[in-house]
Amino acid sequence: MNCHVIQSTLKEIKSAITELYNLISAINAKEKAEYQTSTIRKFIEQRCTNYKENKYAMLSSALSCTRRRITLDRIIINNGPSSELIIDPDTIAVHTTEHFRTVAGGRHQQMTLPHRWAKQYSQEPISMTMFTTTS
């Protein structure tokens, strides 16, 4: 008789544990879904905010890019036989900009437009009738 009581008690305990496990699993699934939804919503709102206020961050996020940047605190300028060490941040910025403008071997200069293209790009008179709608 004692063995029968223990077996029925074990069955009840096993049943209770199974019910608790199922209940906890359901609660966990619900909370996981709520967490995922709130996380998705947060990142969508962040992307919308970035679209309005910070286009660079929005594009980086959309393209999964990280900002890579090198900060120069000193540069050496070679002037023929001598070299000059520059540590002033403003002067470094000027020389760095000049380097990247000319590193490919050319400089942008004012050019005269060839005659065959001049007509294509000439300014046309603006008529106010262009802006009226026809009904």
Instruction: Tell me the two tokens of residue 50.
Output: 């970035």
Say yes or no: 41 and 84 in one domain.
no
Has residue 130 been placed in a domain? no
Domain count, the chain: 2
Q: Are residues 56 and 74 in the same domain?
A: no
Any domain includes 108: no
Host domain of residue 85? 70-102
Stated as kind and residue range, the H or E segment containing 79 is strand 75-79
Q: Is the pLDDT of residue 8 over 70?
A: yes
Q: What would the two tokens of residue 132 be?
A: 């009226």
Does a structural domain hold residue 30?
Answer: yes
Residues 57 and 75 in one domain: no
58 & 79 share domain: no
- Residue 97 domain flag: yes
79 shares a domain with 44: no
Mean pLDDT of 92-101: 88
> Which tens digits make up the pLDDT trace of 29-68?
999 999 999 999 998 888 888 788 888 777 777 777 776 7
pTM: 0.39
Cα(33)–Cα(27) distance, integer angstroms? 10
Q: Can you list the alpha helix ranges (DSSP code H) found in 1-135? A: 2-53, 55-62, 89-102, 115-118
Percentage of the chain with pLDDT > 90?
32
Q: Report if residue 42 sits inside a domain.
A: yes
Confidence of residue 99 (pLDDT cuts 50, 70, 90): confident
